[in-house]
Amino acid sequence: MTLQHIIHRGITIATLAADQSVGTYCAPGHTAIRQQADGWWLYFVDEDGKVDGYDSPFASHAEALWAAKSAAEFSAQ
């Protein structure tokens, strides 16, 4: 899988493969969706570069992307 990204409400949302590190491919303020064996995980990179994420995966990329866009909507307000 190649790195893909979109920008929603000024937030970059990157889709990563399981072997791609969020810290390597995402800058502060970015959101990452990473596919792993058990599903699609959502991560956020804060202003200091610290990576945090949800505690459970989404069943599909579409669900994870929807959640990432919702988070971008919230942070844009």
**For 17, phi and psi rounded to 5 degrees?**
-80, 165
- pTM for the model: 0.87
Domain boundaries, position 37: 4-76
Instruction: Look at the chain and report how many structural domains it folds into.
Output: 1
Contacts of 74 (CB under 8 A, 6+ apart): none
Residue-level pLDDT, tens digit, the chain, 77 residues: 556 888 888 889 999 999 999 989 999 999 999 999 999 999 999 999 999 999 999 999 999 999 999 988 877 55
